[in-house]
Chain A
């Protein structure tokens, strides 16, 4: 048990302003008396030391210790620049030489004196290891880019090829429901699937004609029309091809719709949507990690947008176009059928990007128009419309 220091009643009242002081070595808080001798540029802190035994074993109890801090080395404790204590300011100071020591000043006069006399109060310790931090940032960015753009696509491609048909269908159905919900203007009712009988019969007729001519199994593709204004069509995993009503409204004839669908069948045949969806699972997981959006709203928003406006790679697009150009002649449609729709859209919307012009604003549209024209050059057999006049008007009314 240590002894309590006995207070000497005859001791002189110490000189200076009473503050609180900790030395950074023990958790004992001392009542300290602080003076600023003029002209010396130091702050002197006097406090009663802890009782200790000197080298002869005698207990030293009321030993006054004094530390003097050069004013130029005086610092605010970071983040405690302007603390308050009730109505008054409270200063918390430390010094470069003993950065764990603290001086708590509540006296307004002393506080303003210190602030006026100490030149470097707000200077911070220099940042160490800048090189290390820069290296770390570069390394991390490179690794994440590698994971997102190389590793995840590579794995997704492998897995997409191996996913059984039922699994692919289920994945497609999930994404399909998600898209219907997110495009709906009502939170509870997803956008309507158009299944008007005569229209649906015409759609089935077109589907059968195109699939019959392709090398795909009859049940590999399902066509669906959604009651939505967007001029767009897209393929989902498991062979579901969604055509928005806007596209049918905008098309000049059944061949134009068939040409768009043939392109999407190309994507299905190459399993692009599955690959894309799997890639999205990995990529968006990583993205939400990077941006710290745990609620996941960003991911859902971007994810749906990306599914619908799927920007496949340049090769995938060319391959799907080539597939369509090979498929269309087999059903008596010119491979050039894709061009008029695009050209009309371009003319109508110009360069402005309206909500409706998704398809038109697809990059490299000019290239695709050119390619369609080029493919049509060698095509000289008789064309026949893929649907009869009557069936075409049924299809146009599929959402009524």
Chain B
């Protein structure tokens, strides 16, 4: 040890978690959620968060999530009343106006989206505030200053700028919003700071932007051509050319998605590497190929497992059905599918309409359940693990100067976000 000075400490993050416990935890909590018509979902998320949080251990000390299911539930109830008014009355009014004026409902959805957009940003900030207020490390609370309203307005401004520059200022929005949140985030009494510049993200967004502009160019060219063809009316060749152009669009979308995912990961890494809390800094070594691999492999596995699970559930349900309705015996293991799709026909010894609807609902909910469980296990869990293992803290010796902060009640929890189903995962 050097006399009188500090040794710069690099603290690595450990990750301690296995697939088995995650799978069983998410399976039984999801089952309970379905059995309670979705009302257990608040407690389910709380349990999952506790599990995921405590698996992440910067410098060997586990993170803690101390939120309570009941908080989320009551927060949701408050949001529910406001949103029920909004959705019930507003949706009704919009649909009415849309049909009265345009004889269609697309306009209603558009207006609803414009109204919902700031609300979503508002809700997501509120949700973050709640989660931070309930997260601890080494017994010290995190916190986020209340500024949800301002955040929503700022986000709208950035969104507008990105829109009129055809996406050119999108990385600026990413950076500024992250800075808005980070600069209001605390660990104990230590305010965090987002360094760096938005132009640091611009380069990695360039390929996505090129794809976007190419797509826009192609569409506007196609539109212009179709007008020209309409005027001159000479157009078999032009039509073929247009068709060729438009066939290229799905491929372009795929490429753009690839580059956008890459942008997201690179941006996340850049933003993490420029965050500081006093003398403590972050180093992230996130790898895009790893994240891409996790996502592709994970979703593949998720879909296969969901398919298999549904086959088993479907067959079991069919067995039960045939037991009670012998008329279905011809369908064998596919009886449940036939009933839920209404192809079983009707007559003696067949289930009633009410049961049919109930059955369709059951199969639908079961599919959703299995999908979310397997996604939790095969996509989110490995992603989380990769994020954790590639994260280190610098300047660990400065942690001693960080003091505890007061508890933030964060009264309405994530009510709004819950209602919008933001952060559906965890």
Q: Does B bind A?
A: yes
Partner of A301, one of B53, B187, B357, B400: B357
For chain B, residues 332 to 361, give those with C-beta under 8 angstroms from any C-beta of chain A. 341-348, 350-354, 356-357, 360-361
Among A165-173, A256-264, A332-340, the stretch in contact with B: A165-173
Given A25-B404, A79-B51, A84-B16: A286 in contact with B99 (beta carbons within 8 A): no
| Proximity string of chain B (409-422) to chain A, C-beta cutoff 8 Å, 1 when within and 0 when not | 00000000011110
Q: Does B171 contact A (CB under 8 A)?
A: no
Q: How far is the CA of A69 from the CA of B176 in the complex (A)?
A: 47
Given A102-B138, A170-B99: A295 in contact with B368 (beta carbons within 8 A): yes
A229 touches B345 (CB 8 A): yes
- B406 to chain A: closest CB distance in Å? 11
B346 touches A4 (CB 8 A): no
B139 touches A22 (CB 8 A): yes
For chain A, residues 13 to 59, give those with C-beta under 8 angstroms from any C-beta of chain B. 20, 22-29, 50
| Proximity string of chain B (60-75) to chain A, C-beta cutoff 8 Å, 1 when within and 0 when not | 1110111000100010
Partner of A354, one of B54, B350, B404: B350
Q: Does B143 contact A (CB under 8 A)?
A: no
| Proximity string of chain A (133-164) to chain B, C-beta cutoff 8 Å, 1 when within and 0 when not | 10011011001100110011001100100111
| Proximity string of chain A (81-118) to chain B, C-beta cutoff 8 Å, 1 when within and 0 when not | 00111100010101000001110100000000000000
Q: Does B24 contact A (CB under 8 A)?
A: no
- A167 to chain B: closest CB distance in Å? 4
Name, among B53, B78, B99, the residue most crowded by chain A CB atoms within 10 Å (CB to CB).
B99
Q: How far is the CA of A80 from the CA of B402 in the complex (A)?
A: 24
Q: Does A174 contact B (CB under 8 A)?
A: yes
Q: How far is the CA of A162 from the CA of B81 in the complex (A)?
A: 27
Partner of B81, one of A140, A168, A298: A140
- A372 to chain B: closest CB distance in Å? 24
- A108 to chain B: closest CB distance in Å? 16
Given A29-B59, A166-B103, A289-B87: A159 in contact with B346 (beta carbons within 8 A): no
Chain A residue with the shortest CB-CB distance to B344: A355
- A147 to chain B: closest CB distance in Å? 5
Partner of A4, one of B1, B99, B187, B424: B1
B95 touches A278 (CB 8 A): yes
Q: How far is the CA of A78 from the CA of B65 in the complex (A)?
A: 9
B399 touches A151 (CB 8 A): no
Chain A residue with the shortest CB-CB distance to B343: A185
A282 touches B41 (CB 8 A): no
Chain B residue with the shortest CB-CB distance to A23: B139
- B349 to chain A: closest CB distance in Å? 9
Name, among A29, A156, A291, A353, the residue most crowded by chain B CB atoms within 10 Å (CB to CB).
A29
Q: Which residues of B contact A78 (CB under 8 A)?
A: 50, 66
- B276 to chain A: closest CB distance in Å? 15
Q: How far is the CA of A80 from the CA of B105 in the complex (A)?
A: 50
Q: Does A293 contact B (CB under 8 A)?
A: yes
A102 touches B54 (CB 8 A): no
Interface size bracket, B side: 35 or more
B341 touches A136 (CB 8 A): no
Q: Which residues of B contact A77 (CB under 8 A)?
A: 64
Q: Does B113 contact A (CB under 8 A)?
A: no
B103 touches A144 (CB 8 A): no
Q: Which residues of B contact A164 (CB under 8 A)?
A: 100
Q: Which residues of A contact B241 (CB under 8 A)?
A: none
For chain B, residues 9 to 34, give those with C-beta under 8 angstroms from any C-beta of chain A. 16
Q: Which residues of A contact B344 (CB under 8 A)?
A: 355
Q: How far is the CA of A20 from the CA of B95 in the complex (A)?
A: 61
B99 touches A167 (CB 8 A): yes
Q: Does A60 contact B (CB under 8 A)?
A: no
Partner of B89, one of A28, A140, A151, A302: A151
| Proximity string of chain B (89-106) to chain A, C-beta cutoff 8 Å, 1 when within and 0 when not | 101110110011101110
Q: Which residues of A contact B65 (CB under 8 A)?
A: 79
A183 touches B347 (CB 8 A): no
Q: Does B250 contact A (CB under 8 A)?
A: no
Q: How far is the CA of A127 from the CA of B71 in the complex (A)?
A: 11
Q: How far is the CA of A86 from the CA of B346 in the complex (A)?
A: 59
A27 touches B400 (CB 8 A): yes
A291 touches B37 (CB 8 A): yes
A133 touches B70 (CB 8 A): yes
Partner of A147, one of B54, B84, B361: B84
A281 touches B95 (CB 8 A): yes
Q: How far is the CA of A301 from the CA of B360 in the complex (A)?
A: 8
Q: Which residues of B contact A354 (CB under 8 A)?
A: 346-348, 350, 352
- A177 to chain B: closest CB distance in Å? 12
A185 touches B84 (CB 8 A): no
Partner of B103, one of A25, A100, A167, A309: A167
Q: How far is the CA of A108 from the CA of B420 in the complex (A)?
A: 45
- A70 to chain B: closest CB distance in Å? 19
B89 touches A298 (CB 8 A): no
Q: Does A3 contact B (CB under 8 A)?
A: yes
Given A78-B66, A282-B88, A355-B350: A290 in contact with B5 (beta carbons within 8 A): no
A156 touches B92 (CB 8 A): yes
| Proximity string of chain A (278-301) to chain B, C-beta cutoff 8 Å, 1 when within and 0 when not | 100111011001111111011001
Given A20-B61, A92-B62, A163-B96: A26 in contact with B402 (beta carbons within 8 A): yes
A137 touches B77 (CB 8 A): yes
Q: Does A305 contact B (CB under 8 A)?
A: yes
Q: Does A201 contact B (CB under 8 A)?
A: no
B92 touches A152 (CB 8 A): yes
Partner of B424, one of A147, A151, A294: A294
| A-B contacts besides A79-B51, A283-B88, 17 pairs, CB < 8 Å | A4-B5, A27-B138, A79-B53, A100-B404, A144-B81, A144-B84, A147-B81, A152-B88, A163-B100, A170-B103, A229-B345, A229-B346, A282-B88, A352-B352, A355-B342, A355-B346, A361-B353
Query: What are 12 A-B contacts with C-beta separation under 8 Å?
Result: A4-B1, A26-B399, A27-B187, A27-B399, A77-B64, A80-B54, A102-B139, A137-B74, A163-B99, A164-B100, A292-B38, A354-B346
Q: Which residues of B contact A (CB under 8 A)?
A: 1, 3-6, 16, 37-38, 41, 47, 50-51, 53-54, 59-62, 64-66, 70, 74, 77-78, 80-81, 83-85, 87-89, 91-93, 95-96, 99-101, 103-105, 136-141, 187-188, 341-348, 350-354, 356-357, 360-361, 364-365, 368, 399-404, 418-421, 424
**Closest 8 pairs between A and B when the two form their complex, measured CB to CB:** A79-B50, A355-B346, A167-B99, A28-B400, A170-B103, A353-B352, A140-B77, A294-B421
